[in-house]
Structure 1
Amino acid sequence: MSDNNTAPEAPTTQRVIKKYPNRRLYDTSTSTYVTLAEVKQLVMNGESVAVRDAKSGEDLTRSILLQIILEEEAGGAPMFSEAALANIIRFYGHAMQGFMGAYLEKNVQMFTEIQSKLAEQTQGFTPEMWSQFMNLQSPMMKGMMGNYMEQSQSMYQQMQEQMQKQTEQMLGAFGLKKR
């Protein structure tokens, strides 16, 4: 188990949680019933978790993870604004739905990597160093944020190019050409 100052270690095995019809969750690794909060803690610790329906074996992992997010969002400090959630909903059924999911996933992954690098590089900072760092004036911070912005912009451009190709293909299928 990792402490709060280090990034979670890569999981070695997947924890299988069975969900029973009575909505109870059973951790097959520890042979105990667990709560949703305990599943959340496993995820927070970097464990790979799979939730399966106890009878059918159906994969319920996404459903349980969404339930954890819903409970967190309903709590005191939500991560998403109503506008952000509405915009995410608008992408369902939209031609860009697949791209948006990949775009969000890559951005969250990049952000997580930046956070991990920051944690590594700021160990042993003095209050004065933190003050300078938090003013966003440090070369390290500028470099990390610059790289993040470049990668994000690159992904967005790739998304736009893919959308343009799809539009051209669709227009071509109707015998129309882009002018």
Structure 2
Amino acid sequence: MSIVVKLDAHALASLIETNTEFRLELQRGVIAEITRKLYLTDVATDVQGMINDAFKGHKDDLIKAVKEDEAVRKMIDEKLNGLIKSVRSGTWGYASQKQLSDELKGMVNGHVMGLVREECERQLGKVKKYCDEVVGSIQEEVMKRVGKCTGWVEQNVKVEMLKQIREDVAKTIAATFGAKS
């Protein structure tokens, strides 16, 4: 359930003049709303652009460093916190530093994870292609060797069969004519 209070300009001016707490809360609310809108449009776009520009040239190195080096992760956190402090000391008014820090970290993490995901998918595609090539090459080699083995087996079977036939013929002749083999 929400309550809606409508005030005309005269009543609002009177309330602001007589109630200093109301005046301060109204000022804070206006500043917070302007800050939120400014952040969502201009600053978020600028930060995203800066992040994109930074990643273009050093994406692979940065991803590897962030994944493997705890010191780099700590440095990034410190830089983000420093950026937040400098922004907060300027035009950010009553915006919570913790909230901004979490939002910036979330933006950076989301962007980095997207880049990592894209890179992993690209590398996975390369690995699949390479595996397909290797499997094809192995299949060709196996077929060549099977052909050679088949030829070798056929040749040896023929030789053994001829030996057996000679022995059988020699035994049959010996048995028939009484000759010794």
TM, length-normalised to structure 1: 0.29
TM, length-normalised to structure 2: 0.28
Larger Rg: 2
The structure with the largest strand share of the pair is 1
